[in-house]
Structure 1
C-alpha cells in the first residue's frame, strides 16, 4: 500500500513538472491548452486517492518545483534589466539616437516584458495546481482558472511579438522624441539631468537609473 502511494505521488510530481515545462512563451513554442487540461485532470484524479497529510506534503513539493524555474527566470530578467540600464546610460550621452540602437534597446525592453508575462503565468498556474492538490479543487474549476490566465498571457505575448517584428523593419531612421517619451512614461522613472533625448530619458526613468 505504501509503495503504491509513493508511486502515485511520484507520478503526480512528474506530471506537475511536465505542466511547469509546458509554460513557454518564446520562440516557436506555444501553450498547449489541450495537454494542460488533460494533465490537470490526471493530477486531480490521482490526488483524490491520497490522504490529507500526503496532499499537503505533495503541495509543498510542487511549490518548490515551480519556484526553481521561477527563480531562474527572475535571474535572467534581472540580468537583462542591468544590461538595458547600461545601454540607456550610453544612449543618454547622445544628442541624436540612431534608429538601429533604439531598436536594440526596445527589443530588450520587449524581452523583459515577455519575462514578466512568463513569470505571471508560472506563478498563477503554480498557485492553481497547489490549490488543486491541497484542497482537492475540481479539475473543471482549476481548468477555467488556467484557461483565463493563459489566454490573457498568450494574447499579451502575441502583441509583443508583433511589435518586435515591426521594430526590426525600422533600423536606420533617427528616433523621434515622441517615441521615447511614450516609452519613458510607461516606466515612470526619475529623470536624470543633462540627458538631451526625451525618449532616452523615459527609458532611464523606466529602469530607475540615476546620475
Structure 2
C-alpha cells in the first residue's frame, strides 16, 4: 500500500486514498553492457541503472544493485545465426556484474544483451539492454600468426642446437689428449732426482779384511 499526503499546515496533512501495488507495477530502466574478447573467451560487464535513494547524494549515481541483489540474465548470440546462443543467469551481489562465456566459433560476430529482475519476483524485470557485438578472430588470421611464431622459434633454437652438438666433440678430444700429458709428466727420465739425505758420521762403521 502507498499513499501521498499534502502538508496543509505544520500540524495538518491531507492524505490521498491508499493505493495497492505489487511487484508487477515496478518499472526498471535497462542495464548497459560492454564486452571484451580474449581468444575464444568473452567477458560481459553489466552495469545497472541509477536508482532513487535518499542516502545517495545529489548528482551521484547509486546503481539499483546497491539496494537489491537482482537476478542478471546475459545472452550471447551469433549475429548471423540467432539459433546459436548461450545464456547465463547469475545472482548479482556486486555493484557491477561480470559474466563469462567460452567456446565461441572463430571468425563470427557475437552480440551480448542483458536484463535483470527483482530477486523474489521474476516478472518485475527490466527491458533488455542495447546489444554490444564483437568479432572473433578468424582461423585464416590465426594460422599465419602460428606459422610465424614457429618460424621465429626455430631461428632461435637452431643456433643453440648447433652449439650444443659441437661441445661434446671438443670435450672428447680434450679427454684423449689428457693421458699423453699425464704420461709425459710421469716419465722416469723427466723426474727430478731426490736430494741425498744427510748422514751422521757417528753412524758410519769401517771394517778391515785380514785376507
Q: TM-score, normalised by structure 1?
A: 0.20
Higher share in strand: 2
The structure with the larger Rg is 2
Q: Which has the higher helix share?
A: 1
Instruction: Give the TM-score of the pair, scaled to structure 2.
Output: 0.20
